Structure 1
Amino acid sequence: MKSNRWRLFKGAALVTALAVVASCGLPRSGPTKTEIFSGSVMESGDAFVLLVDDRVNLVASVTPALGFSAGFRNAGALGSDTIRAGDVLGLTIWENVRDPLLVPSGQNATVLEEVQVDGSGFIFVPYAGRIRAAGNTPEAIRRIITNKLEEQTPDPQVQVRRLAGDGATVSVVGAVSAQGVYAIERPTRTLSSMLARAGGVTVPPEIAQVRVVRGDHSDAIWFEDLYAHPGHDIALRAGDKIFVEQDTRSFTALGATGSQNRVPFESQTISAIEAIAQVGGLNTNLADPTGVFVFRNEPEEIANQLVGRTDLVGTQRVVYVLDLTRPNGMFLARDFAIRDEDTVYVTEAPFSQFNKTISAAFGTLGQVNSAAAAVGR
């Protein structure tokens, strides 16, 4: 009789424990598949939940491209001998007369060193006056000075040398070996050669971006594309600002993955499979491979294409569903491109929740049994 009462007591304790567990809820890494689907616009939610297929991949995997606009690409290379405001010139003048204008007595030439081109682009030469230097080559300046002096001294011989090019410079900053201000010279008239002059980039080349600011315009390119597509190796202009930085894009991984973290991009493009691999893959004890979700805010143009509508206005919440157990599920996940600020979430398998319930229940039941045994004694 006592044994029957004991079995009834244990059964009651088991039911009580299960009831306690069910009422309190169990810890978990996030929402279930059912809860996510309940947020769909089909269920009066505010997100479009889409199963990824080839069509969805084609629309959703469009990523913003980097590159220089025609304004940058069509600019011709600067002539290395074109004089600009701020340049420094050296002049040598020969006169073969008894009473020269400029040459000291007893000598046959005079040297005018460090004649700087002023902000208006002019230089001053004694007896020749103010001469327009900016925009001219040293040879053109030589002819102008010669013509001016010929009016006062017969057959003068003039030599013009460009000593420094501080007037045509660019600034190079960011992730380069040697930040600084560099003159545009014959070997450094293009973007790639100027980056080489600055010692190259100091971040992994596959995630390095190069931005050029010219006046009110700014464009950027991947460092690797600069060499893969020579047409984007633009000619530099005086005053250009070159900034090299590491890619700042990232995605967030949550749920039943190897780790939950904010993850920076390690290459120009990352697929859903690569994103999962970066965080240690699926947790084999918890993950549901039929419930891999990517949460993203899509612009209205892409959202309308995805759902076959034309009336959506503004950014739309979209949840992409990847089922890795489908025959082509791994291929679809491999082709699905992760974008900046995406959230990759993997749901827990129903069996893992069942295991948690049983573990919690029997842990509670063990405590009840211990208490009941103590009372029985």
Structure 2
Amino acid sequence: MARQNMLIPRVLLLTSFMSALLSACSTAPGNFLNTSRLEDKDLTPTATYPVHLITADVIAQEQAAPDVTQPLPPARFADEAQYVYRIEPQDILGVTLWDHPELTTPQGSTLSTGGNTTQTVAGALRQPYTQALPGQADPYGQTVSPNGTIFFPFVGSVRVAGKTTGEIRDQLAAALAPYIKNPQLDVRVLAYRSQKIAMTGEVKQPGPLAVSDVPLTLVDAITRSGGTTSEADLQRVRLTRGGKLYVLDANSVLDRGDISQNVMLQSGDIINIPDRYDSRIFVMGEVKTPMPVNMVRGRASIADALTLAGGVLDTDANVRQIYVVRGARSNPARPDIFRLDMSQPDSLLLSTQFQLRPQDVVYVGTAGAVQFNRLINQVLPTLQTLFYLKQLTR
């Protein structure tokens, strides 16, 4: 009877301890989410996916697979040889009429925009005006009005919008013929201000670029913007034209000479050089530093990804289970899964030849013994607690 009386406090103590242990989630410090108000009835997916062992044949098939080419934007001119610049409002024209300096654009005049920026017309003639500069003074000349006309002595209002400098020259010569015998004149653009494109994103000098009589291509625009930054992704240059978005691969122009991607730009185009956020590769699992890896010049192999992540863990990784999960963009419901067996002699060579794609996931599996040890480490504290509780009830 006395022994039973001694057991009652021990049982009460054990019961209280177990109650406190079960409610530790609500009393222990740290982050805690009460799931009692969450209704989670979704079952774990049971779909299976085929796994392709990475071999020399698989790599050859991947390399031979045709790339998905993006449609090119419609162009006004078939090639640069057909390019013609046409005058639009806000362009500034200079007219030279031989033996008639009173009708010629003054070459020595100094002009100003009202501030400290001044220049001569001769200096303006030497400037290419391929890049719009804030505060740049305008050369003295014939500014095309919003209605597309200019005023010229003896001729009056002349419509020049939509015409080339050669057509304007012939038009003025014919209009001056009644007043000047055999007029010889020349017309040129002193400032290209009507047409421009916008450069944005990962370039060193973002801003507007003027469209001139020299054809402006994608590579030219990048060069005139000071080049790209170290985070630029030249494989996915975004061109907005006519309300539609086109993706261009400027890297193929520089590396492989694919001039089809070096499109000719036109007024109103918006060029965006994105960063490499969408070109990342994710390295996970038993590696020293799980991390996203940026592709270099649009290329990265399994060996590159594992090296940048510090390599696999010697004691924890299962080198026969290095998976590449592909399809996050095109078909996330049915991804392509590849496996590389790094225990084979030719695995190192295969790891350098298998090229990854943006958004690929490289996962290094866990060795079976490590999984068992981790399970033991999770269960052992509970077993120790039960053992001490049993000792208290004796």
TM range (shorter): 0.5 to 0.7
Higher relative contact order (CA 8 A, sep 6+): 1
Residue 342 (structure 1) aligned with residue 345 (structure 2): no
Kindly tell me: are residues 127 and 295 of structure 1, through their superposed partners in 2, closer, same or farther at Cα, counting changes over 3 Å?
same
What SS is found at the alignment partner of 1:148? helix
TM-score, normalised by the number of residues in structure 2: 0.64
Residue 175 (structure 1) aligned with residue 178 (structure 2): no
Aligned equivalents of 2:383, 2:155: Cα separation in 1 = 108
Match for residue 330 of structure 1 among 330, 339, 348: 348
What SS is found at the alignment partner of 1:340? coil
Kindly tell me: are residues 157 and 45 of structure 1, through their superposed partners in 2, closer, same or farther at Cα, counting changes over 3 Å?
closer
Residue 69 (structure 1) aligned with residue 62 (structure 2): no
Residue 141 (structure 1) aligned with residue 168 (structure 2): yes
Aligned equivalents of 1:267, 1:110: Cα separation in 2 = 56
Aligned equivalents of 1:173, 1:188: Cα separation in 2 = 20
Q: Is the 8 A contact 1:170 1:184 kept in 2?
A: yes
2:371 counterpart residue number: 353
Aligned equivalents of 2:215, 2:196: Cα separation in 1 = 10
Aligned equivalents of 1:67, 1:114: Cα separation in 2 = 44
Aligned equivalents of 1:253, 1:136: Cα separation in 2 = 58
Kindly tell me: are residues 199 and 187 of structure 1, through their superposed partners in 2, closer, same or farther at Cα, counting changes over 3 Å?
farther
Aligned equivalents of 1:237, 1:340: Cα separation in 2 = 30
1:115 counterpart residue number: 142
Q: Once the two structures are aligned, what percentage of the paired residues are identical?
A: 23
Q: Is the 8 A contact 1:77 1:236 kept in 2?
A: no
Query: 1:260-275 to 2 correspondence within 5 Å?
Result: 260-275=290-305
Match for residue 89 of structure 1 among 89, 93, 107: 93
Query: 1:357-368 to 2 correspondence within 5 Å?
Result: 357=375
What SS is found at the alignment partner of 1:237? coil
TM-score, normalised by the number of residues in structure 1: 0.66
Aligned equivalents of 1:326, 1:157: Cα separation in 2 = 82
* Runs (5+) with no aligned partner, structure 1: 1-38, 97-107, 304-313
1:246 counterpart residue number: 275
Aligned equivalents of 1:161, 1:147: Cα separation in 2 = 17
Kindly tell me: are residues 315 and 299 of structure 1, through their superposed partners in 2, closer, same or farther at Cα, counting changes over 3 Å?
farther
Q: Which moved more, 1:73-82 or 1:113-122?
A: 73-82
1:295 counterpart residue number: 325
Q: Is the 8 A contact 2:341 2:347 kept in 1?
A: yes
Kindly tell me: are residues 192 and 351 of structure 1, through their superposed partners in 2, closer, same or farther at Cα, counting changes over 3 Å?
same
Counterpart amino acid of 2:58? V
Match for residue 224 of structure 2 among 197, 208, 213: 197
Q: Is the 8 A contact 1:172 1:182 kept in 2?
A: yes
2:212 counterpart residue number: 185
Kindly tell me: are residues 353 and 75 of structure 1, through their superposed partners in 2, closer, same or farther at Cα, counting changes over 3 Å?
same
Match for residue 58 of structure 2 among 51, 56, 59: 56
Aligned equivalents of 1:56, 1:262: Cα separation in 2 = 25
1:171-218: CA deviation from partner (whole Å, max 9, x where unpaired): 212112222222223667333333222222123567675333333554
Query: Structure 1 residue 153: deviation in Å?
Result: 4.9
Q: Which moved more, 1:367-376 or 1:122-131?
A: 367-376
What SS is found at the alignment partner of 1:189? coil
What SS is found at the alignment partner of 2:197? strand
Kindly tell me: are residues 55 and 251 of structure 1, through their superposed partners in 2, closer, same or farther at Cα, counting changes over 3 Å?
same
Aligned equivalents of 1:223, 1:210: Cα separation in 2 = 7
2:334 counterpart residue number: 316
Aligned equivalents of 2:57, 2:198: Cα separation in 1 = 45
Residue 210 (structure 1) aligned with residue 237 (structure 2): yes
Query: Structure 1 residue 348: deviation in Å?
Result: 0.9
What SS is found at the alignment partner of 2:303? helix
- Say how many residue pairs are matched: 312
Counterpart amino acid of 2:52? L
Match for residue 278 of structure 1 among 308, 328, 331: 308
Aligned equivalents of 2:359, 2:241: Cα separation in 1 = 29
Counterpart amino acid of 2:143? Q
Q: Which moved more, 1:141-150 or 1:254-263?
A: 254-263
Q: Is the 8 A contact 2:87 2:164 kept in 1?
A: yes
Aligned equivalents of 1:63, 1:256: Cα separation in 2 = 33
Kindly tell me: are residues 212 and 60 of structure 1, through their superposed partners in 2, closer, same or farther at Cα, counting changes over 3 Å?
same
Kindly tell me: are residues 268 and 65 of structure 1, through their superposed partners in 2, closer, same or farther at Cα, counting changes over 3 Å?
farther
Query: Structure 1 residue 350: deviation in Å?
Result: 1.0
Q: Is the 8 A contact 1:190 1:234 kept in 2?
A: yes
Query: Structure 1 residue 366: deviation in Å?
Result: 6.7
